[in-house]
Amino acid sequence: MTDGYVAPGFERVREAFEAGLAGEMGAGFAVVRDGAVVVDIWGGWANREQTRPWAKDTIVPVYSTTKGVSALIVAMVAEQGLLDYDAATAALWPAFGAHGKDRVTIAQTLAHQAGVPGFLEPIDPDLWLDPPACAEAIAALAPLWPPGSASGYHPLTWGYIAGEIVQRAAGRSLGTILREDICMPLGIDFQIGTPESEHARCSEMKKPTRGGEFGEITPPRKAAFFSKWAAPVRGSTQWRKIEIPSANGHGTALGVARLYEAYATGGVINGARVLSQEGFDALTRRVWKGDDLVLPFNIDWRRGIIGNSNLIYGPNIEAFGHSGAGGSVGFGDPVAGVSAGYVMNKQSHHVMGDPRSLALIEAVYACL
């Protein structure tokens, strides 16, 4: 049922993956330790009809696991001196300062503190498929709480904001920088803005049978998730092709593990330094820790990545990670020197801490 590579000493990871695969449609899991691939396995089916086996080059949308990758690109642009985390977002993007958002910094914006987690008032969901127009509409929103006073997860809007910041600062799109400066030279199979030539490799997704538990549907939660216009129709050719740096990264498990390797090494991916230690420290500096206004958790927000205070990315609090809708995960642990990526096509209802990835991560640490 499974294919791929497991280094000696990591057999328990294969056992855990195979045990979990019985309840999957298809999935992949990869682990990098001290720069070497120690696990890269996959199995199951890439489509609902179970006629296309999951292959080494099957790619899958990882939804919000994309955010940790995008945060790395923002950090690279910051290190080049093209943007300042402590500057107001509106200094780069004046329109974003509408309705009292003029003082919220880029760091606070990346930590989901700008107060614009979505649209309370109805929009045409196709607006999400036009990133420039969508960014303009987000900039014009009034915040749902005083910016900088709290965090409230921005599931989709975060990516349009981050993308606009990078485009304005660097003169290239976030997905272009990822492709040209990291993935192509380092041979990493991951993209934000997936060309149509790659769509045949994409896995089909199976939606969860029920929604996640969020508690009371407050205005921030309604704007973020609970409306008919809270997200575009996913899976279309157009959705895959455009860049949504919060939500539509496509890649393999190994692609995710390699990119999150930067969080395990202080900025090194596959032997190449993409971020200085100083730049990495800036990326991972805490901005806010507290009860989130959208997610039903206490979150340790850094500058676009999550600190591991809830210990869902392994047993070391020093790790950093991000989870995606339905269950995907990427994380890097600088203590253990380990990064991992888990991707799948049968989505679960767990908001964070999916039991499938927790079991795999536990197996990894049992082998170290």
Interatomic CA distance for residues 63 and 367, integer angstroms = 29
pTM over the 0.85 mark: yes
At 368 the pLDDT is 97
Q: Are strands 338-344 and 329-333 parallel, antiparallel or unpaired?
A: antiparallel
Contact (Cβ atoms closer than 8 angstroms) between residue 224 and residue 117: yes
Contacts 24+ apart (CB under 8 A), 1-5: 1/43, 1/44, 2/41, 2/42, 2/43, 3/41, 3/42, 3/43, 3/56, 4/28, 4/39, 4/40, 4/41, 4/42, 4/56, 5/37, 5/39, 5/40, 5/41
At 99 the pLDDT is 98
Structural domain boundaries enclosing 237: 2-367
Amino acid at 194: T
Taking only the tens place, the pLDDT of each residue in 229-262 is: 999 988 889 999 999 999 999 999 999 999 999 9
Interatomic CA distance for residues 182 and 220, integer angstroms = 35
Interatomic CA distance for residues 299 and 310, integer angstroms = 8
Work out how many domains the chain is built from and give that number. 1
Residues of the chain with pLDDT under 50: none
| CATH number of domain containing 216 | 3.40.710.10
Contact (Cβ atoms closer than 8 angstroms) between residue 347 and residue 325: yes
At 23 the pLDDT is 85
